[in-house]
Amino acid sequence: MGSNFPDVAALLSDACRLYGELFAEEPPQVAVCAPGRVNLIGEHTDYNQGFVLPMALPLVTVVVGGPTSAQEVTVVTAAKDADEPRRVDFALTGDGSSLSPGLPRWANYVKGVIQHYRAPALPNFRAVVTSSVPLGGGLSSSASLEVAFYTFLQKLKPDDGEKLPKVLACQQAEHTHAAVPCGIMDQFVSVFGRERHALLIDCRSLEATPVPLADPSLVILITNSNVKHSLTGSEYPMRRRQCEQAASALGKDSLRDVTMKELEEAMERLDDVTYRRARHVIEEIERTVQAAEALKRGSYKKFGQLMVESHNSLRNLYEVSCRELDELVSAAMEVEGVFGSRMTGGGFGGCTVTLLQAQAIDKAIQHIQVNTRPC
Ligand code: GAF
């Protein structure tokens, strides 16, 4: 991870300083954090009940604060590139309308988490948020905010502490308050992620297998296209709908249950777009299982090959890449010592992830910088 990102201690100290300046009381009583994630492979498979292979990042969202005797909740974000008001005040009591989604948009994640929090009668509170997860960068800034906030609420008014309901509540917050019908991956890995491991998540059974990622000769490079992605537009929900339509046309509950043979046999009954969306998902689920096996065996070449296949499929069949992401992947693949590269996350901008030999890292960064057009 590049050293220009503040570490948790720096984020925490910024948050505490801002809290002191704004509320001029004692130091915050509660401080929590939750990570963003990078998905190594398995894209747009989670809402099709398939497999994903993400890892939690050292980029995190920090929330500090505590209960207040004031009549309202106040939350302030210090997230650097927020183009909206950084402060929001709302009441927890009354008809609940103050928790409806609205402006500023970032606060919808907070309101959604409060709405779906499973221990009622929260006290009013004040909180300050800082984060090193780039907003709209495809590294799950929203899931890290949801999970950090849920953890904050757990400190104010403990629930039963169960992790899976926490994941599901944060996912619900995104559905109801950010209008993104996301799968489970981002919130799941933010809660269950383990240091130096990726997680192979079966998004049907919700079982997760940690896959070690501690080889010092290996580096995972994340490159930001700086094209801001937003999944609240029509494209993400449309992809999800197209997958559901494809599964239903094939008489199955989800594309997880469809084989390539069945898809080929049904080809004439499906329009071209539906066929291509379904094909991406079916093949990507298989690729993800193979990739996890390759990683366990230390077959980085195989893993890299699967990453590139995944990117090409996301570009050509699922149509969620963009010029900037394609250029980043092509430039990375020109460097000796790079095993594979692909877009990561929902797409339409955001980041790429590249697997490479540690000794090739400087050359790779330089080559990518020189050979891609800044957006
Ligand atoms: C976004 C969603 F939030 C995830 O659930 C997942 O679908 C991902 O896009 C695509 O793999 O991050």
Note the pLDDT tens digit of each residue in 12-28. Answer: 999 999 999 999 777 89
d(CA 72, ligand 1 centre) in Å:
33
Pocket of ligand 1 (CB under 6 A): 43-44, 46-47, 182-183, 185-186, 231, 345-346
Closest ligand 1 atom to residue 47 Cα is: 7
- Per the annotation, the verdict on 160 as an active-site residue is no
Nearest to 178 by CA among 152, 132, 206, 143: 143
User: What pLDDT score does 96 carry?
Assistant: 66
d(CA 125, ligand 1 centre) in Å:
31
Is the confidence at residue 2, as pLDDT, over 60? Answer: no
Query: CB of 353 within 8 A of CB of 342?
Result: yes
What DSSP string runs through 291-308?
HHHHHHHT-HHHHHHHHH
Residue scoring higher pLDDT (375 or 78): 78
**Range in 35-49, 67-81, 135-149, 236-250 the model is least confident about:** 67-81
Is the confidence at residue 82, as pLDDT, over 70? Answer: no
Q: What value does the mean pLDDT of the chain take?
A: 94
167-224: per-residue pLDDT in tens? 999 999 999 999 999 999 999 999 999 999 999 999 999 999 999 998 999 999 999 9
The pLDDT confidence band at residue 234, using thresholds 50, 70 and 90, is confident
The predicted complex's ipTM stands at: 0.99
Residue scoring higher pLDDT (359 or 80): 359
Please give the backbone phi and psi of residue 13, each rounded to the nearest 5 degrees, phi first. -70, -35
**Cα→Cα distances 288→50, 134, 266, Å:** 9, 26, 24
Q: Give 201's strand partners.
A: 52, 208
100-129: per-residue pLDDT in tens? 999 999 999 999 999 999 877 899 999 999
Please give the backbone phi and psi of residue 252, each rounded to the nearest 5 degrees, phi first. -120, 160
d(CA 32, ligand 1 centre) in Å:
24
Q: Any idea what DSSP says for residue 288?
A: H
The pLDDT confidence band at residue 372, using thresholds 50, 70 and 90, is confident
* Ligand 1 pocket test target in 133, 171, 182 with most atoms within 8 Å of CB: 182
Global model pTM greater than 0.90: yes
Cis peptide before 210 (omega within 30 of 0): no
Closest ligand 1 atom to residue 236 Cα is: 9
Residue scoring higher pLDDT (203 or 135): 203
Exactly one of 81, 89, 186, 272 is catalytic; name it. Answer: 186
